[in-house]
Amino acid sequence: MIKKQINTKKKDLSEMVNLIPMINLIFLLLIFFLLTGVISKKDSVKIDRPHSYFGEDIKIADEEVLFTVNNLNEIIYQEKKISLGEVIKYIEFKDAKYVLNIDKNAKISTFNEIIKKLKNNDVKKVFIKVSDLKNE
């Protein structure tokens, strides 16, 4: 009968590679990049904004109301197409900031109608998104 020879020789811990510090470092780097990374919401509609020399850079917060008008004169609110008559339903707070993101090829009459509806509802803060002509 053949007996298997049992390896009685034990490995020394100093001969083994310790992977725990490397795993810790990878998780620390992962946490660092997750915390420092900038997450921004991208525009779902491709808009070619009008140019302006006098536009100011203002950050848009989540509480601000954003109306988008694309080059086909479709009004979009929260990624949903709405009609011009439905704009009034989304004008809830007079003190809120309303932002108009309008394509430069959209009809000016659509822009004017939205401005009229905002003005008729006593909205005081209306901003228009433009692209900066100074940096081009």
- pLDDT, one tens digit per residue, over 86-96 is 888 888 777 77
Number of domains making up the chain: 1
59 falls within a domain: yes
The residue range of the domain holding 68 is 51-132
14 falls within a domain: no
Q: How many whole angstroms separate alpha carbon 83 and alpha carbon 80? A: 10
- Which pTM value belongs to this model? 0.57
The sign of the torsion formed by the CA atoms of 81, 57, 125, 117 equals: negative
Q: How many whole angstroms separate alpha carbon 29 and alpha carbon 32? A: 5
33 falls within a domain: no
- pLDDT, one tens digit per residue, over 25-39 is 999 999 999 999 877
